[in-house]
Protein backbone atom coordinates (compact mmCIF):
# COMPACT_ATOMS: atom_id res chain seq x y z
CA UNK A 1 0.00 0.00 0.00
CA UNK A 2 1.57 3.31 -1.01
CA UNK A 3 1.37 6.48 1.09
CA UNK A 4 -1.57 7.96 -0.83
CA UNK A 5 -3.59 4.77 -0.35
CA UNK A 6 -2.69 4.77 3.36
CA UNK A 7 -3.79 8.42 3.73
CA UNK A 8 -7.05 7.58 1.95
CA UNK A 9 -7.57 4.56 4.22
CA UNK A 10 -7.06 6.76 7.29
CA UNK A 11 -9.73 9.13 5.96
CA UNK A 12 -12.22 6.30 5.36
CA UNK A 13 -11.72 4.69 8.78
CA UNK A 14 -11.96 8.01 10.62
CA UNK A 15 -15.05 9.09 8.67
CA UNK A 16 -16.79 5.82 9.56
CA UNK A 17 -16.18 6.55 13.23
CA UNK A 18 -17.28 10.21 12.96
CA UNK A 19 -20.48 9.20 11.16
CA UNK A 20 -21.26 6.63 13.83
CA UNK A 21 -20.58 9.07 16.70
CA UNK A 22 -22.70 11.80 15.11
CA UNK A 23 -25.67 9.43 14.88
CA UNK A 24 -25.56 8.41 18.55
CA UNK A 25 -27.62 10.00 21.32
CA UNK A 26 -25.47 12.69 22.92
CA UNK A 27 -26.15 11.19 26.38
CA UNK A 28 -24.11 8.10 25.39
CA UNK A 29 -20.91 10.19 25.48
CA UNK A 30 -20.50 9.69 29.23
CA UNK A 31 -22.05 6.19 29.40
CA UNK A 32 -20.61 2.79 28.70
CA UNK A 33 -21.34 -0.85 29.40
CA UNK A 34 -20.31 -2.11 32.84
CA UNK A 35 -16.51 -2.24 33.17
CA UNK A 36 -16.08 -0.83 29.64
CA UNK A 37 -15.07 2.59 28.38
CA UNK A 38 -17.55 5.33 27.57
CA UNK A 39 -17.81 6.67 24.02
CA UNK A 40 -15.82 9.67 25.21
CA UNK A 41 -13.01 7.48 26.54
CA UNK A 42 -12.72 5.69 23.20
CA UNK A 43 -12.34 9.05 21.45
CA UNK A 44 -9.88 10.35 24.05
CA UNK A 45 -7.79 7.19 23.66
CA UNK A 46 -7.73 7.61 19.87
CA UNK A 47 -6.85 11.32 20.17
CA UNK A 48 -3.98 10.48 22.54
CA UNK A 49 -2.74 7.77 20.18
CA UNK A 50 -2.87 10.08 17.15
CA UNK A 51 -1.18 12.89 19.02
CA UNK A 52 1.69 10.65 20.14
CA UNK A 53 2.24 9.44 16.59
CA UNK A 54 2.03 12.94 15.11
CA UNK A 55 4.53 14.16 17.70
CA UNK A 56 6.92 11.31 16.87
CA UNK A 57 6.63 12.08 13.16
CA UNK A 58 7.51 15.72 13.86
CA UNK A 59 11.03 14.79 14.94
CA UNK A 60 13.78 15.06 12.33
CA UNK A 61 14.39 11.79 10.50
CA UNK A 62 18.01 11.62 11.76
CA UNK A 63 16.73 11.74 15.35
CA UNK A 64 14.33 8.82 14.79
CA UNK A 65 17.14 6.88 13.13
CA UNK A 66 19.52 7.63 16.02
CA UNK A 67 16.97 6.92 18.76
CA UNK A 68 15.27 3.80 17.36
CA UNK A 69 17.48 2.51 14.56
CA UNK A 70 16.43 1.30 11.14
CA UNK A 71 14.16 -1.52 10.02
CA UNK A 72 15.81 -4.92 9.74
CA UNK A 73 12.99 -6.36 7.61
CA UNK A 74 10.51 -5.25 4.95
CA UNK A 75 7.29 -3.54 6.06
CA UNK A 76 4.31 -5.82 6.59
CA UNK A 77 1.10 -5.29 4.63
CA UNK A 78 -2.11 -3.94 6.16
CA UNK A 79 -3.72 -7.32 6.79
CA UNK A 80 -0.59 -8.65 8.50
CA UNK A 81 -0.32 -5.57 10.75
CA UNK A 82 -4.01 -5.83 11.69
CA UNK A 83 -3.75 -9.56 12.43
CA UNK A 84 -0.60 -9.12 14.51
CA UNK A 85 -2.32 -6.39 16.54
CA UNK A 86 -5.42 -8.51 17.19
CA UNK A 87 -3.19 -11.47 18.18
CA UNK A 88 -1.12 -9.28 20.53
CA UNK A 89 -4.28 -7.86 22.11
CA UNK A 90 -5.58 -11.38 22.68
CA UNK A 91 -2.27 -12.54 24.21
CA UNK A 92 -1.86 -9.43 26.38
CA UNK A 93 -5.35 -8.52 27.55
CA UNK A 94 -4.30 -7.72 31.10
CA UNK A 95 -1.35 -5.63 29.92
CA UNK A 96 -3.53 -3.74 27.45
CA UNK A 97 -6.25 -3.02 30.02
CA UNK A 98 -3.67 -1.96 32.62
CA UNK A 99 -2.07 0.40 30.08
CA UNK A 100 -5.35 2.32 29.73
CA UNK A 101 -7.06 1.74 33.08
CA UNK A 102 -6.70 5.33 34.32
CA UNK A 103 -8.12 7.02 31.23
CA UNK A 104 -10.31 9.89 32.42
CA UNK A 105 -13.96 10.11 31.41
CA UNK A 106 -14.45 13.16 29.17
CA UNK A 107 -17.51 15.21 30.07
CA UNK A 108 -20.27 16.17 27.70
CA UNK A 109 -18.92 19.73 27.88
CA UNK A 110 -15.60 18.47 26.43
CA UNK A 111 -17.26 16.51 23.60
CA UNK A 112 -17.08 19.08 20.79
CA UNK A 113 -13.54 20.13 21.68
CA UNK A 114 -12.37 16.51 21.77
CA UNK A 115 -14.07 15.59 18.48
CA UNK A 116 -12.52 18.68 16.84
CA UNK A 117 -9.12 17.74 18.24
CA UNK A 118 -9.60 14.22 16.87
CA UNK A 119 -10.37 15.57 13.39
CA UNK A 120 -7.36 17.90 13.48
CA UNK A 121 -5.00 15.13 14.60
CA UNK A 122 -6.21 12.68 11.97
CA UNK A 123 -5.91 15.31 9.21
CA UNK A 124 -2.38 16.07 10.44
CA UNK A 125 -1.50 12.39 10.18
CA UNK A 126 -2.85 12.19 6.64
CA UNK A 127 -0.79 15.24 5.69
CA UNK A 128 2.37 13.85 7.30
CA UNK A 129 1.81 10.47 5.64
CA UNK A 130 1.73 12.11 2.21
CA UNK A 131 4.88 14.14 2.96
CA UNK A 132 7.11 11.26 4.13
CA UNK A 133 9.11 9.54 1.42
CA UNK A 134 8.25 5.96 0.56
CA UNK A 135 11.83 5.05 1.54
CA UNK A 136 11.51 6.58 5.03
CA UNK A 137 8.14 4.88 5.51
CA UNK A 138 9.91 1.53 5.15
CA UNK A 139 13.27 2.22 6.83
CA UNK A 140 12.50 4.34 9.90
CA UNK A 141 11.03 2.60 12.94
CA UNK A 142 9.29 3.77 16.11
CA UNK A 143 8.17 1.69 19.09
CA UNK A 144 4.58 0.69 19.75
CA UNK A 145 3.74 -0.16 23.41
CA UNK A 146 2.16 -3.51 22.51
CA UNK A 147 3.73 -4.48 19.20
CA UNK A 148 7.33 -3.33 19.61
CA UNK A 149 9.24 -1.55 16.86
CA UNK A 150 7.26 -0.94 13.70
CA UNK A 151 8.16 0.81 10.47
CA UNK A 152 6.49 4.18 10.00
CA UNK A 153 4.37 2.64 7.21
CA UNK A 154 3.20 -0.13 9.56
CA UNK A 155 2.35 2.17 12.45
CA UNK A 156 0.35 4.48 10.20
CA UNK A 157 -1.55 1.51 8.74
CA UNK A 158 -1.99 0.24 12.31
CA UNK A 159 -3.58 3.60 13.17
CA UNK A 160 -6.23 3.02 10.50
CA UNK A 161 -6.89 -0.45 11.89
CA UNK A 162 -6.88 0.86 15.47
CA UNK A 163 -9.64 3.32 14.55
CA UNK A 164 -11.60 0.53 12.86
CA UNK A 165 -11.10 -1.68 15.94
CA UNK A 166 -12.63 0.99 18.21
CA UNK A 167 -15.43 1.74 15.73
CA UNK A 168 -16.39 -1.94 15.65
CA UNK A 169 -16.22 -2.14 19.47
CA UNK A 170 -18.49 0.90 19.77
CA UNK A 171 -20.98 -0.49 17.22
CA UNK A 172 -21.06 -3.83 19.00
CA UNK A 173 -21.41 -2.65 22.60
CA UNK A 174 -23.14 0.73 22.52
pLDDT value at residue 146:
92
- Domain extent at residue 46: 3-18+39-97+118-173
Does residue 50 sit in helix, strand or coil?
Answer: helix
In a domain, 29, yes or no: no
In a domain, 26, yes or no: no
Tens digit of pLDDT for each residue in 131-155? 999 999 999 999 999 999 999 999 9
In a domain, 157, yes or no: yes
In a domain, 112, yes or no: no
Q: Into how many domains does the chain fold?
A: 1
What pTM value is reported for the model?
Answer: 0.94
Tens digit of pLDDT for each residue in 3-39? 999 999 999 999 999 999 999 999 889 988 888 899 9
pLDDT value at residue 162:
98
Amino acid sequence: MDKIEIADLLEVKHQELFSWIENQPIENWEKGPKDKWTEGQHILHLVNSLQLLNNALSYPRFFLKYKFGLANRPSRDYKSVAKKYEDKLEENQSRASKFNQNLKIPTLKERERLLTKFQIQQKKLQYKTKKISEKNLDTLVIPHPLMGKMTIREIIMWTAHHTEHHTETLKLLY
